[in-house]
Amino acid sequence: MDASMMSDRPLVRVEHLRHLYHKGSVSDLLVLDDVNLCLKENEIVALLGRSGSGKSTLLRIISGLLPPSGGNVEIDGKPVSGPASEVAMVFQSFALFPWLSVLENVEIGLEAIGMASDERRARALAAIDLIGLDGFESAYPKELSGGMRQRVGLARALVVHPKVLLMDEPFSALDVLTAETLRTDLLDIWFEGRLPIQSILMVTHNIEEAVLMCDRILVFASNPGHIVAEIKVDLPQPRDRQDPAFRDIVE
Ligand code: ADP
Ligand code: MG
């Protein structure tokens, strides 16, 4: 394969994806039907859709947590057949272990990889520092604000250095100002090239958030879930996203 073909190859490819939930005696629920999408390197893409349209189901399938009823998912050219370190997920409800400290919650992201404990510790501390939690390593989730808990969720995902970061409504449990701060901090480190990832797929039902953060927006319709529109967001300069004039347009 030559270099040009390599660069054209999508990082995530979803083809003809279909998913049914079995409902026991009731008829099965078709949640996703013929979902097709590609995610390239260096892209942040939003998946925008109503609650119940199947967005979380789609992310669970891409992350390998849920086997689909039909269709294909490939990450970097390899079929997904279960959870793998190429993909990491950030959850709306943070999903932290309350009995573990910040450092332990982040390190646990590396446990499955079988890394030596010194290296695990160093990687976890670097992720904690990157996401702005320096000094909170020994704190417990209940001692932290919502925004800081989600920073722990992000650090735990980033610590594995996944190729793709999936975020399922990562800011929707936070108040407006906290969400904005976290979004801005995340974009800053993304544009500085300090995030150890190659692309982000983010679920949201907030159009402003999608426009401010993403290069493309995939609009998801329900019953069954499928993509009905794709919007390109053309903001070449990262600073423009924070520009008050631009913010007036979106608000
Ligand atoms: P979204 O994230 O867009 O809100 P979900 O993927 O969570 O949508 O859910 C899509 C549909 O599938 C909903 O109707 C939901 O009730 C149903 N659903 C989700 N998870 C399950 C499950 N484990 N078993 C059965 N039905 C489910
Ligand atoms: Mg959801």
User: What is residue 114's predicted lDDT score, i.e. its pLDDT?
Assistant: 79
Residue 96 has pLDDT above 60, yes or no: yes
How does pLDDT run across 164-205, given as a tens digit for each residue?
999 999 999 999 999 999 999 999 999 888 999 999 999 998
Question: In this predicted structure, which of 3-17, 47-61, 63-77, 95-109 has the lowest mean pLDDT?
Answer: 3-17
Q: What band does 244 get if pLDDT is binned at 50, 70 and 90? A: low
User: What is residue 2's predicted lDDT score, i.e. its pLDDT?
Assistant: 44
Using the atom order of ligand 1, give the atom closest to the CA of residue 53.
3
Q: Which residue is closest in CA terms to ligand 1's atom 16?
A: 52
Q: Is the CB of 122 under 6 A from ligand 1?
A: no
* Average pLDDT of the residues of the chain: 89
Residue 19 has pLDDT above 70, yes or no: yes
Considering the chain, what percentage of its residues have pLDDT values greater than 90?
75
Nearest alpha-carbon partner for 154 in 121, 112, 106, 193: 106
Q: Is the CB of 55 under 6 A from ligand 1?
A: yes
Burial environment of residue 145 by CB neighbours within 10 A (0 to 12, 13 to 18, 19 or more): exposed
Ligand 2 center to residue 3 CA distance, Å? Answer: 37
d(CA 154, CA 108): 13
Ligand 1 center to residue 221 CA distance, Å? Answer: 14
What one-character-per-residue DSSP string does the chain give? --HHHHHHS-SEEEEEEEEEE--TTSPPEEEEEEEEEEE-TT-EEEEEE-TTSSHHHHHHHHTTSS--SEEEEEETTEE--S--TTEEEE-TT----TTS-HHHHHHHHHHTTT--HHHHHHHHHHHHHHTT-TT-TT--GGGS-HHHHHHHHHHHHHTT--SEEEEESTTTTS-HHHHHHHHHHHHHHHHTT-SS-SEEEEEES-HHHHHHH-SEEEEEETTTBEEEEEEE----SGGGGG-HHHHHHH-
Give the global pTM: 0.91
ipTM above 0.95, yes or no: yes
Question: Higher pLDDT residue, 42 or 243?
Answer: 42
d(CA 238, CA 144): 30
